[in-house]
Homo-oligomer: A and B are copies of this chain.
Amino acid sequence: MKPTVLTGDRPTGNLHLGHFVGSLKNRLKLQEDFNQYVIIADAQALTDNAEDPKVIEENIFEIMLDYLAVGLDPEKTVFFLQSGIPELFELSSYFMNLVSLARLERNPTIKEELYQKDFGRSIPAGFLTYPIYQAADILAFKADLVPVGEDQSPMIEQANEIGRKFNRTYRTPLFKEILPLIGYVGRLPGIDGKTKMGKSMGNAIFLCDTSDDLRKKVNKMYTDPGHIHIADPGRVEGNVVFQFLDIFDGNRDELLKLKEEYRHGGLADSKLKERLTAILDDIICPIRNRRSEYSKDRTHLMEILCQGTLKARSIAAQTLSEAKLAMGLLDLSKSTNIYEAQVQ
């Protein structure tokens, strides 16, 4: 049997080039060799968007469009909606008993996010405990591999701790170690070059951007502020356009020559930006076209998500049932025939 990989996103906005190089391209490869599950983590998105769930609902459709548009294939990848699987939440509740408050507060990702959000003690319980829910999402599918950004690896560590503690407490081999797969490309910078590309930072190139959007965004990119006249020598380091070319330009020889020329003086920023625009449009154009095709049939998209969620639900329910058996909890479906017959 193929090993299982679990990955996913919070549906809080359209996916952008940062997602494409950081995870989507990976997923395209992974779906060939793995059982790939992609979770749309709407309930997790609520943990810091509780007041505004509407944005989440809208983005479920958008994110499904992005997935299909980049080439993720429903025949190879199971897409599912977290809130469509109540069994994940029940499994989380059993994990809650195995994690101390102190351990949750020590989670580096949570600590960093707490600091950014300035919650203090008014931190919602849902936010503090979301690593436990995330552990259930991963362990329910017995994922072998979870691709994560570097900043997310403490989440996998916590999930593994929970799995181990469960196995030890209930003397079962049920949960195996999860291997974090750290992305092979670092963070893509935003068009402002300052931070990583982020949907809420106003510095993102989206997979749904038009050619025109794209040109405008590339034109806004910082180059070298000292490169005033075309003939002036320019700096390649810290130049956002070159940072992008380094990642996306397949013609490495030509790129090297361009860098030389830029350093020496005589290469216009506008030339570089045209080149980058063309390269990025080559990537985004087919995505944009497929996106527009898929967007015509919302029902079909929702059917794909439903089918995936049903499939994922049966796996999660199976794991929950195994977990309850290991714990020695009563399984009503095993005690009489009534329950099974009516619930199925």
Q: Is the interface of A mostly helix, strand, loop or mixed?
A: helix
Would A86 and B89 count as touching, CB distance under 8 A? yes
A125 to B131 alpha-carbon distance, docked (Å): 11
Separation in Å of the A48 CB from the closest CB of chain B? 8
Quickly give the copy total for this chain.
2
Which residues 10-44 in A have Cβ within 8 Å of B in the complex? 42-43
Would B96 and A57 count as touching, CB distance under 8 A? no
A87 to B102 alpha-carbon distance, docked (Å): 28
Complex contacts, A122 vs chain B, CB 8 Å: 100-102
Interface size class of A (residues with CB under 8 A): 35 or more
Known: A42-B330, A329-B42. A123 touches B100 (CB 8 A): yes
A102-B122, A302-B335 known, 13 other contacts, Cβ within 8 Å: A50-B97, A50-B98, A56-B328, A56-B329, A96-B125, A100-B122, A101-B123, A101-B125, A125-B128, A125-B129, A306-B336, A309-B332, A310-B339
Give A contacts to B, CB under 8 Å.
Answer: 42-43, 46-47, 50-51, 53-54, 56-57, 60, 81, 83-84, 86-87, 89-90, 92-94, 96-102, 104-105, 121-129, 132-133, 169-170, 299, 302-303, 305-307, 309-310, 313, 320, 324, 327-330, 332, 335-336, 338-339, 342-343
